Amino acid sequence: MSSLFIGTEIIMTVIQSLIIGKFLVDFNEFPLKTGKNKICFLGISAVIAVTILLFNILGGHFEGWLGLFYPVLYLTLSLIFFNGTLQRKIIGSLAAITGVITANTIIFVYISSLTGDPGIAFSSGNIFRGAALVAVQVLLVLIYRIIIQFVSKHTIKLSFYEWALISVNILFALMMFISLIIIKTNEGL
């Protein structure tokens, strides 16, 4: 039975990595029309998946402070593979991590509150963890679609100061979501 849960974790990690990779591609308006660009997208997603799996094996789960490595990874991948301004790449990296943390926080806090066990959705090997992982992916797609609609270059043109204000809000939200998830996981009911 535990191999089923391990398989679910790996599959959900790969799916999440594809979702994050697609968001970074869309945010940076990287066309996936050529085979080379599709390979770049798959490479970005593979790097993200391997990183998440390695962190999980080493005990540096996304929900902990080591999760702050991820925006650095997303920015590095954006700098390597995408054209565009540095500020857009930074915003895209922060938006990507904010989406993941938001989806994780909403789903995991909801399941923890519903079951009365603050750690049930974080512990491997139970149906609540599997359901949480699936729900996170669905919510992540919705969050990313909203972000892409908001920041599309064809829809809204923002000045540097407007981008700076958005960045400050994203950083604040990121810190709040990290605080919420740490409080919820350390809570003893």
Higher confidence at residue 55 or residue 181?
Answer: 55
pLDDT tens for 49-102 read: 998 888 877 765 555 566 678 888 999 999 999 888 888 888 888 889 888 888
**How does 137-148 read in b/e, with b if 16+ C-beta sit within 10 Å?**
bebbbebbeebb
Higher confidence at residue 106 or residue 50?
Answer: 50
pLDDT tens for 3-37 read: 777 788 889 889 999 999 999 999 888 888 888 88
pTM: 0.79
Question: Hey, how many other C-beta atoms are within 10 angstroms of the C-beta on 153?
Answer: 10
Q: Helix 35-58 vs helix 69-81: angle between axes, to the nearest 10 degrees? A: 160
Cα maximum dimension of the chain: 53
The pLDDT, as a whole number, for residue 65 is: 62
pLDDT tens for 112-150 read: 778 777 676 666 677 888 888 899 999 999 999 988 887
- Tell me how far apart the alpha carbons of residues 65 and 19 are, in angstroms, rounded to a whole number: 22
